[in-house]
């Protein structure tokens, strides 16, 4: 719900009359000076670096807040930690193509070219995994959903 001069005013209220305020920055990124926001979106709470500019095709960086973290308790350091993904781990020694780590729809993973591998082992953390461990995971045969191994195309 909004005021009668809708496009010109910014005041919004919920159906029960509570005022919806505009997002206030959590703080600023020390490297870029851009504001960091904690927002609630279609897929849950997330952090955003910078603001959306109308008419611009450039989108601000965004990252999901983990389910176990209460959005109002997120600090600037934690927000920057979440925004550090995707992480470039390095280049594959055989193909010289990049290997990166990220969190997706099905959880944390590493990717080399189009070879996606889930990080399901206890010690594999998307924020701390290094290139040697990623190469070890990529060298293992890929399993299908039924637990069988797939043939690697050469």
Q: In 3D, which of 40, 34, 71 has the Cα closest to residue 53? A: 34
| Beta strand ranges found along 4-149 (DSSP E) | 12-13, 19-20, 27-28, 35-41, 44-49, 61-64, 87-91, 98-104, 107-112, 115-118
> Which residues have C-beta within 8 Å of that of residue 144, sequence separation ≥ 6?
150
Say what the pTM is: 0.71
Exposure of 140 in the CB half-sphere (CA atoms within 13 A): 13
Please give the C-alpha separations between residue 14 and each of 6, 10, 18, 23, 147, in angstroms, as whole numbers.
Answer: 15, 13, 5, 15, 49
Give pLDDT tens digits along the chain (154 positions). 556 665 566 666 666 766 666 778 899 999 999 999 999 888 889 999 998 888 888 889 999 988 889 999 999 999 999 999 999 999 999 999 999 999 888 889 999 999 999 998 888 899 999 999 999 999 998 877 766 666 555 4
Tokens of residue 16, six digits: 């029960």
Joined tokens for residue 15: 């159906």
146 in helix, strand or coil? coil
d(CA 4, CA 2): 7
């Amino acid at each position: 719900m909004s005021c009668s001069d809708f496009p010109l005013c910014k005041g919004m209220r919920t159906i029960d009359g509570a005022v919806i305020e505009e997002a206030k920055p959590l703080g600023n990124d020390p490297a870029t000076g851009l504001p960091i926001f904690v927002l609630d979106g279609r897929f849950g709470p997330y952090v955003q670096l910078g603001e959306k500019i109308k008419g611009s095709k450039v989108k601000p960086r965004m990252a999901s807040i983990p389910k176990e973290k209460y959005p109002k308790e997120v600090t600037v350091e934690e927000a920057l930690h979440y925004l550090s993904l995707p992480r470039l781990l390095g280049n594959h020694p055989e193909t010289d193509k990049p290997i990166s780590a990220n969190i997706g729809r099905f959880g944390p993973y590493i990717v080399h070219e189009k070879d996606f591998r889930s990080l399901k082992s206890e010690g594999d953390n998307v924020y701390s995994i290094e290139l040697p461990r990623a190469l070890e995971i990529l060298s293992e045969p890929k399993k299908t959903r039924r637990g069988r191994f797939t043939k690697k195309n050469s």
